[in-house]
């Protein structure tokens, strides 16, 4: 949520057509090449679904009937495996687990009928085909999940802190900030380094995914490995120059950032330091700060209001001419920064509603 516009832009940049912004989703059309590219290159998508069958059903009997009318062996062999994710907001089915179960039964029943009692197995982790069944009212949409595993799992994270942000959230924050390398990027409370690592991958024009990561479409019947190899060999332009600083007051987090950055192949592009933000000397450099400070009891923050007030004071005193983008789920605490918000974007940090605020520390404005 909150990234629909930038995701639409990412899709347009890859060559997607008929782009439409939906609720927490973006729809588009394109060919197989774009599907592979979208999985490999999009930074703010969680999964990419390919709708294959839509129908209306007003009852479970009608659902069963319609399911039997589609040829499921077009996507899957009888000795293959499948998994089904379901979502429903309807009276026809009111439990998504039951809808998933019923969908699986119908697909397998059709295989049994056609293939002399043989049917695919269920494999929840790495199926040959993961189907997604979406039901709203009486409208069913069945899609193939071309990603299989959520795209936020880039594969580089070897260590985490207590509250790491999701990689997709970190990448989206960097893109929303509009950072293009003109000023050094700084995350002064970097935890396991997600923001700095995603920023480096963006600046280098690299895929956010680790080499060798697998995607759902790779086990489809129509997988084109030649096309895939062409896509992963393609180079994208990097920023002409950029600098990234990451620091944290905990040594363990500094090590985690270093290890994760190495694992992502961007270790040499991030300057990592152990530093308490309140003691960090900024050497009068103008920077673009993107960070998510701790904001609740989980992170042993006993007095969030006081902590945020001190962050605000530090920004005013040491970062004139810089800008700061701060993600926080603690609305009361963020007010204590005592800075004028120049942009506010509503995002989700996992299940927590959060606000992403932009502050500009102009000389004379503080």
Ligand X SMILES: C[S@@+](CC[C@H](N)C(=O)[O-])C[C@H]1O[C@@H](n2cnc3c(N)ncnc32)[C@H](O)[C@@H]1O
- Site residues, ligand X (CB under 6 A): 161, 163-165, 188-192, 194-195, 248-250, 253, 276-278, 292-294
Q: Which is nearer to ligand X, 8 or 175 (CB)?
A: 175
Paired sense of beta strands 323-328 and 288-291, if any? parallel
| Least distance from ligand X to the Cβ atom of residue 244, Å | 14
| Least distance from ligand X to the Cβ atom of residue 249, Å | 4
| Least distance from ligand X to the Cβ atom of residue 15, Å | 31
| Least distance from ligand X to the Cβ atom of residue 93, Å | 37
| Least distance from ligand X to the Cβ atom of residue 64, Å | 45
Q: Which is nearer to ligand X, 20 or 276 (CB)?
A: 276
| Least distance from ligand X to the Cβ atom of residue 277, Å | 4
Q: Which is nearer to ligand X, 16 or 294 (CB)?
A: 294
Backbone angles phi, psi at 294, to 5 degrees: -60, 145
Give buried/exposed letters for 335-357 (b at 16+ CB in 10 A, else e): ebbebeeeeebebebeeeebbbb
| Least distance from ligand X to the Cβ atom of residue 197, Å | 9
Q: Which is nearer to ligand X, 103 or 330 (CB)?
A: 330
Spatial CB neighbours of 42, under 8 Å, sequence gap ≥ 6: 7, 10, 11, 14, 48, 151
Q: Which is nearer to ligand X, 213 or 255 (CB)?
A: 255
Cβ neighbours, 10 Å, residue 1: 12
CA–CA gap between residue 310 and residue 352 (Å, rounded): 24
Cβ neighbours, 10 Å, residue 218: 15
Q: Which is nearer to ligand X, 16 or 161 (CB)?
A: 161
Q: Which whole-number Å values give the CA distances from 243 to 143, 180, 205, 310, in the listed order?
A: 41, 10, 15, 26
CA–CA gap between residue 269 and residue 206 (Å, rounded): 13
CA–CA gap between residue 354 and residue 219 (Å, rounded): 37
Q: Which is nearer to ligand X, 98 or 278 (CB)?
A: 278
User: Tokens at residue 11, please?
Assistant: 């899709």
Q: Which is nearer to ligand X, 49 or 289 (CB)?
A: 289
| Least distance from ligand X to the Cβ atom of residue 169, Å | 9
| Least distance from ligand X to the Cβ atom of residue 352, Å | 11
User: Tokens at residue 43, please?
Assistant: 């930074």
Q: Which is nearer to ligand X, 18 or 300 (CB)?
A: 300
Which residue number is nearest to ligand X in terms of Cβ? 191
| Least distance from ligand X to the Cβ atom of residue 363, Å | 25
Q: Which is nearer to ligand X, 74 or 279 (CB)?
A: 279
């Amino acid at each position: 949520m909150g990234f629909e516009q930038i995701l639409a832009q990412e899709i347009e940049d890859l060559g997607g057509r008929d782009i439409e912004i939906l609720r927490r989703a973006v729809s588009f059309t394109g060919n197989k090449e774009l599907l592979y590219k979208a999985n490999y290159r999009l930074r703010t998508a969680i999964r990419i679904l390919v709708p294959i069958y839509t129908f209306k059903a007003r009852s479970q009997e009608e659902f069963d009937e319609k399911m039997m009318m589609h040829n499921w062996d077009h996507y899957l062999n009888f000795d293959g495996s499948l998994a089904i994710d379901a979502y429903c907001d309807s009276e026809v089915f009111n439990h998504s687990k039951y809808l998933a179960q019923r969908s699986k039964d119908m697909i397998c029943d059709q295989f049994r009928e056609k293939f002399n009692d043989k049917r695919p197995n269920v494999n929840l982790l790495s199926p040959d085909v993961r189907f997604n069944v979406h039901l709203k009212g009486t409208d069913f949409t069945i899609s193939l999940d071309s990603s299989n595993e959520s795209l936020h799992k880039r594969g580089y994270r070897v260590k985490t802190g207590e509250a790491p942000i999701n990689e997709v959230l970190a990448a989206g924050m960097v893109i929303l900030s509009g950072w293009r390398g003109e000023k050094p990027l700084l995350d002064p409370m970097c935890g396991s380094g997600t923001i700095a690592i995603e920023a480096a991958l963006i600046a280098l024009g690299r895929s956010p995914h680790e080499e060798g990561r697998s995607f759902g479409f790779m086990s489809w019947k129509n997988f084109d490995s030649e096309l895939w190899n062409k896509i992963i060999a393609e180079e994208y332009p990097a920023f002409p120059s950029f600098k990234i600083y990451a620091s944290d007051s905990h040594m363990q987090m500094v090590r985690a950032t270093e290890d994760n950055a190495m694992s992502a192949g961007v270790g040499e592009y991030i300057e990592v330091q152990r530093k308490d933000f309140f003691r960090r000397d900024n050497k009068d450099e103008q920077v673009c700060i993107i960070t998510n400070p701790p904001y609740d009891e989980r992170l042993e923050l006993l007095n969030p209001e006081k902590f945020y007030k001190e962050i605000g004071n530090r920004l005013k005193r040491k970062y004139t001419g810089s800008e700061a983008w701060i993600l926080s789920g603690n609305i009361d605490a963020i007010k204590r920064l005592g800075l004028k918000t120049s942009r506010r974007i509503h995002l989700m940090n996992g299940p927590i509603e959060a606000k992403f605020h932009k502050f500009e520390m102009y000389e004379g404005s503080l």
